[in-house]
Amino acid sequence: MEFPTRILIGRGVLARLGDFVEEGGTKKKAVVAAGTRVHEKVSEVVSSSLNGSVEWVKVTAADIQNVERVMTAARSASCIIGLGGGKSVDVGKLAAFKRDLPFFSVPTSASHDGISSPFASIKGLDRPYSVKAKPPVGILADVRVISSAPRRLLSSGCGDLVSKMTAVKDWQLAHEVQGEYYGSYAASLALMSAAVVLEGSKKIGEFGMDSVRDIVEALISAGVAAGIAGSSRPCSGAEHLFSHYLDLLAPGVGLHGEKCGVGTIMMSKLHGLDWEGVRSALEHVKAPTTASAMDLKEEQVVEALVKASSIRPERYTILSRNKLSREKALRLAKSTGVI
């Protein structure tokens, strides 16, 4: 098991990044993978904190080409910092893994649990889902910066959090049917992260500073659950396969956490869980609960439900047991109000 050894969450802590990296046992010669907008917004405070000992690589997409650009820049670096949203963090994480360098995660938004997990979602690889890398050695999350990000990103993070509910049920199902390893501690940690949104959605929907911190801490905990399990099982089930298949059908349409949240509504019904409660919680946090809200077509939702299992046929989920025909998939989507 590998876990982050240092976590710093607070208001205005981005200015302490240099000390944070150094206290983590790493010299400050860093390559920072960041998006263009993030660079414009925080480059001055970050460069000052690192005493100018930094090389910036502007990440344009979460693909293998950007990973290679960061790897090239990091040939003489002492660490890699992923600064920004999911794309920058995932690119930096995989580049650090391939370069065998310490990786520091510095999210500027809280849209999914990749900020702490040992997995990275990168396009251009031989599979359309997350690949194993390694978790960050340190996570620095400035609540003030994250709270200034578009609300849609925070809502997406909430969608990724509620998905742990059905992911754990799928993991339990795989254990019962196929004898797959199931870790109750990792599962409990993931479920606790989901409960932050499911039980506190009305307050979270106000998006005050304390709520933003709750979301960030829950996402970090979910990523740690995956590290404990040694796989993405406690965090990723049929709802994630649904999201990944939609990525193939409609690239760039909808955020990852948004699609996972909508998938969770439907998978919850298949599992016999409180799917209406899931939908209500997502509505409270301003996350989409319908296909049209994400600009997805009805037929795309149906096809994703029918074919999602083909993304990872070795991963047993509720969609493996309940093989949906197009007619059954259409009924499921309509009965939950997704279409």
Residues 136 and 179 in one domain: no
CA distances to 271, 281, 312 from 173, rounded to whole Å, are: 10, 25, 16
pLDDT at residue 129, rounded to an integer: 66
Nearest 5°: CA angle at 252, between 247 and 253? 85
Q: In whole angstroms, give the CA distance from residue 288 to residue 68.
A: 34
Residues 113 and 74 in one domain: yes
Residues 66 and 176 in one domain: no
Q: Facing residues of 55 across strands?
A: 31
Residue 1 lies in a domain: no
Domain, as residue range, for 310: 151-335
Q: In whole angstroms, give the CA distance from residue 32 to residue 59.
A: 10
Domain count, the chain: 2
Write the DSSP symbol of residue 82: E
pLDDT at residue 194, rounded to an integer: 98
Using alpha carbons, select from 187, 155, 339 the residue that is nearest to residue 261.
155
Domain boundary residue among 147, 166, 193?
147
Residue 218 lies in a domain: yes
Residues 87 and 164 in one domain: no
Count of C-beta atoms within a 10 Å radius of residue 100: 7
Backbone angles phi, psi at 121, to 5 degrees: -100, 105
Residue 161 lies in a domain: yes
Backbone angles phi, psi at 8, to 5 degrees: -130, 120
At position 215, the amino acid (one-letter code) is I
Q: Which residues of the chain are modeled with pLDDT < 70?
A: 1, 24, 126-129
> pTM for this one?
0.92
Contact 250, 291 (CB under 8 A): no
pLDDT at residue 128, rounded to an integer: 64
Contact 42, 173 (CB under 8 A): no
Residue 102 lies in a domain: yes
Q: In whole angstroms, give the CA distance from residue 306 to residue 329.
A: 7
Residues 115 and 161 in one domain: no
Residue 301 lies in a domain: yes
| Chain center to CA of 310 | 21
Q: In whole angstroms, give the CA distance from residue 9 to residue 208.
A: 15
Q: In whole angstroms, give the CA distance from residue 134 to residue 138.
A: 12
pLDDT at residue 80, rounded to an integer: 96
List, in order, residues 6 or more apart from 205 with CB less than 8 Å away: 211, 284, 285, 286
Residues 195 and 171 in one domain: yes
At position 282, the amino acid (one-letter code) is L
Residues 266 and 310 in one domain: yes
Domain boundary residue among 124, 147, 170?
147
Residues 61 and 175 in one domain: no
Residues 323 and 258 in one domain: yes
pLDDT at residue 86, rounded to an integer: 86
| CATH number, residue 115 | 3.40.50.1970
Residue 88 lies in a domain: yes
| CATH number, residue 168 | 1.20.1090.10
For residue 205, what is the enclosing H or E element? none
Give the pair of three-digit tokens for residue 87.
Answer: 């794309």
Domain boundary residue among 113, 147, 181?
147
Residues 12 and 123 in one domain: yes
Residues 223 and 313 in one domain: yes
pLDDT at residue 77, rounded to an integer: 94
Count of C-beta atoms within a 10 Å radius of residue 111: 29
Residues 191 and 99 in one domain: no
